[in-house]
Amino acid sequence: MAESQNKRDLAYARTKINFDVKDMTNFLHGGEANVEQRRYIIDLIAKDPVFNKDDWGWLNHTDAVKRGIAMSTRLAEIKMEHDLNDLDFATMMEAIDDTLPIVLHNGAFIPVITSQGTEEQIEKWIPPAEKYQIIGCYAQTELGHGSNLSQLETTATLVKETDEWEINSTSFTAAKWWIGGLGALCTHAVVQARIFIEGKDYGAHVFVVPLRSLDDHKPFPGIEIGDIGPKAYNGFNKMDNGFARFNKYRIPRENMLMRFSKVSKEGVYTKPPHAKLAYGSMVLLRSVLIKQMALYLSRAVTVSTRYLTVRRQFNNPTSRNDSDLNPGLETQVINYPMVQNRLFPMIAQSYALFAAGAVMMDMYIGLMTGLSSGNIGALAEVHAMSSALKSYCTTFAVAGVEESRKLMGGHGFSYFTGIAHLFASTVPSNTYEGDNYVLTQQMARYLLKEVKTARTNPDQVTPYSKYLLLGLNKSAFARSTCSVALPEDWLSPAVQLAAFEHRCARLAYELSDAVEQGGLDTANPKTWSDHNIECYRISHAHAQYVMVLWFIQAVRDASNPETDVERRAEPASIKVLERLSNLHALHTIQTNLVDFVEDGYFSPAQCQSLRAQVKNIVASLADEAVGLVDAFDHPDFLLNSALGATDGDAYKRLWDKAQSEPLNRREVCDGYEEYIRPLLKKHGEFKL
Ligand SMILES: Cc1cc2nc3c(=O)[nH]c(=O)nc-3n(C[C@H](O)[C@H](O)[C@H](O)COP(=O)(O)OP(=O)(O)OC[C@H]3O[C@@H](n4cnc5c(N)ncnc54)[C@H](O)[C@@H]3O)c2cc1C
């Protein structure tokens, strides 16, 4: 097929879009100014040769780390040259599209010191950190422990005589492990270590620990340090995830971050006013991940939507054939309902992730504002919410990136789609910042407390747990059923939310009853573990409920004249957004249908009409799909994809990319004389 047909197909698809793509882009990114700033930052990165991505597919870990360091230092320079803020830094990382050794300096080192340090400590460490006179990482995980913070083996023992801490890796398994930036780049780390004062264990606390000399970058005596080696799928290959062992290494007492817990010169320990006050920085990292998932999944579906629009296979009639454009051509694969039903729900999920990312950041900002004035009221809920959302969103976004690859058939497996790299970068998000399975216990614990509140003080249940009030009257709740009578009833947000609320309430009370009946204790890991599967289920159910709710609210707000103009959209965009919101809600129900039918809330007939409605909405989005992914506004530099570029010239680009394979530089490959020829000649000459 001529290359121009590819381009023609995508251009033709763009003529059918029924909304203004620019308007949708502004809605997604929170206004025109943000869109322009994002473009400006991406261009800054794109035109700098150190960020060129052409040879990435061929870099091994050792070369990649060197490149990662070069990119890190340039990134720091650009940030300072242009006086860019944290948001711009995040956009630079988005544009670079790889995890660099420097990323945790801005992503964790600075935020941890800022949120857990005293004013004097902030004054001491942050100005040099902002000027990159010191570069830091975040060292919590050890060879033997990650999830279980309370059993970390690195100790910090107070030495009163010298007013110092002695940091010690008490065993082989106490070695810090996986720490991004530690292997090669960083001069400092914030280290989690268990405090011992006169033999008493006060649990894990955070310390600023100098690692390498600021003169020659050599590790200080008493620290053994290095890189942990290559990682799965060649992911994170520019990142120097590292290890460190401390051998009775001394640091000043003031290097313990003391905003909440304090230790005086005399060895008096003051505990924090609230046990979870130090969680602020974790909430930030998890909240940022939701937004990142929106960017990752939307990139994957951009590539697959564009490619599937230009890919033609078989000559099967579908309800949406473009044979008027080019009679006699095969069918565009995007017209197959099977393809649409795999792809379009992920476009809807991407839009829902944009909405959830914005709300989660607002919640984080609200939390920090409250904490700064001593109000810890929102801490438990926001911590649980960020844990539940992190677990759910990273799980389905990563699955979605892989599904986008599979959607593209054989070519999907080429590195040049850009999706293999995206998958390798995205997949560890299921593990870092809290393992996705372990994390769900946070929301489950929180909801169990809310169940108690619902029973004793129903007025005090927090807004997102209000559904628990539905279950207070057990018999009425058991009799309640879904109100859908006609297929179009599914399009009511109230009906959708009622279904999610019913499901969450049932799962929460079932968990609560099981815990109570078994006489089990959430604080007792031996017995609590029996309920881990149910914890996962209710935590993800709650996350799905708030995601559906937030997307519905974002679409409602978009047409409300009282909403900030940045979050508004034109009527034509809203019409499509409503369809996406419906698809997101109903498809989420459909993929979790068992939860809605096992107590009889949905009837078999309702299940059938639900499936039909999902199919209808999917089909109704066929003309909009290309516009919906164009609206994400991911430039070609960012996508780095032969199959998903803006002009649709997929085959030509794939061909050109393959020509850059170093094997093709020679007519006869290396190894011919050594291996191939001897085999061919082993049993004599064969004449053609
Ligand atoms: C790419 C990458 C980058 C990282 N960067 C950093 C970094 O910069 N700094 C840092 O400190 N750490 C970092 N980490 C470490 C990361 O945070 C931890 O690996 C993560 O929190 C998981 O902990 P773990 O390894 O102890 O897993 P484990 O807890 O050992 O998990 C192993 C298995 O056991 C299961 N499991 C564990 N406990 C329970 C339970 N109670 N109930 C049920 N199942 C359970 C888990 O679900 C999992 O399947 C990084 C990790 C990766 C992969």
| For residues 171-190, average pLDDT | 98
pLDDT digits (tens, 9 = 90+) for 558-598: 999 999 999 999 999 999 999 999 999 999 999 999 999 99
Tell me: pLDDT of 521 over 70.
no
Structure confidence at residue 350 (pLDDT)? 98
Q: Which of the residue ranges 145-149, 152-156, 616-620, 654-658 would you say has the lowest mean pLDDT?
A: 145-149
| For residues 386-398, average pLDDT | 98
**In whole numbers, what is the pLDDT of the chain averaged over residues?**
95
Work out which ligand 1 atom sits closest to the CA atom of 176.
11
Contacts 24+ apart (CB under 8 A), 289-292: 289/390, 289/393, 289/394, 289/429, 289/433, 290/353, 290/356, 290/357, 290/360, 290/389, 290/390, 290/393, 291/353, 291/354, 291/357, 291/358, 291/360, 291/361, 292/94, 292/357, 292/429
The CB of 228 under 6 Å from ligand 1? The reply is no
Structure confidence at residue 519 (pLDDT)? 65
Tell me: pLDDT of 1 over 50.
no
Write out the catalytic residue numbers: 433
| For residues 490-505, average pLDDT | 98
Tell me: pLDDT of 325 over 70.
no
| For residues 171-196, average pLDDT | 97
Tell me: pLDDT of 2 over 80.
no
Tell me: pLDDT of 201 over 70.
yes
**Higher-confidence residue: 372 or 523?**
372
Work out which ligand 1 atom sits closest to the CA atom of 182.
8
Q: Atom 44, ligand 1: which residue's CA is nearest?
A: 438
Residue 617 pLDDT level (bands cut at 50, 70, 90): very high
Which residue, 626, 634, 627, is CA-closest to 20? 627
How many A from CA of 148 to the centre of ligand 1?
A: 9
Q: Please enumerate in sequence order all residues whose Cβ is within 8 A of that of 523, keeping only pairs 6 or more positions apart, or say none.
A: none
Structure confidence at residue 526 (pLDDT)? 63
- DSSP H or E segment with residue 608: helix 604-620
| For residues 161-187, average pLDDT | 97
Tell me: pLDDT of 323 over 70.
no
Report pTM: 0.96
How many A from CA of 435 to the centre of ligand 1?
A: 5
How many A from CA of 289 to the centre of ligand 1?
A: 16
pLDDT digits (tens, 9 = 90+) for 279-292: 777 888 899 999 99
| For residues 457-462, average pLDDT | 97
- Provide Rg for the chain, Cα atoms: 27
Residues present in the chain in total = 688
Structure confidence at residue 278 (pLDDT)? 73
| For residues 462-483, average pLDDT | 97
Please choose from 227, 431, 529 the residue to mutate so as to test ligand 1's pocket, defined by most ligand atoms within 8 A of CB.
431
Tell me: pLDDT of 84 over 80.
yes
Structure confidence at residue 280 (pLDDT)? 78
Residue 382 pLDDT level (bands cut at 50, 70, 90): very high
How many CB atoms within 10 Å of residue 405?
21
Work out which ligand 1 atom sits closest to the CA atom of 235.
1
Tell me: pLDDT of 111 over 60.
yes
pLDDT digits (tens, 9 = 90+) for 233-260: 999 999 999 999 999 999 999 999 999 9
Q: Which two tokens stand for residue 656?
A: 């050109």
Binding-site annotation: residue ranges = 141, 180
Number of DSSP helices (H) and strands (E) in the chain, helices first: 24, 11
How many A from CA of 428 to the centre of ligand 1?
A: 10
pLDDT digits (tens, 9 = 90+) for 398-422: 999 999 999 999 999 999 999 999 9
Half-sphere exposure of 584 (CA within 13 A, CB side): 30
Structure confidence at residue 322 (pLDDT)? 59
Structure confidence at residue 414 (pLDDT)? 97
Residue 14 pLDDT level (bands cut at 50, 70, 90): very high
| For residues 123-134, average pLDDT | 98
- DSSP H or E segment with residue 449: helix 436-456
Tell me: pLDDT of 113 over 80.
yes
The CB of 235 under 6 Å from ligand 1? The reply is no
- Secondary structure class of 227 (helix, strand, coil): strand
Distance CA 332, CA 317 (A): 10
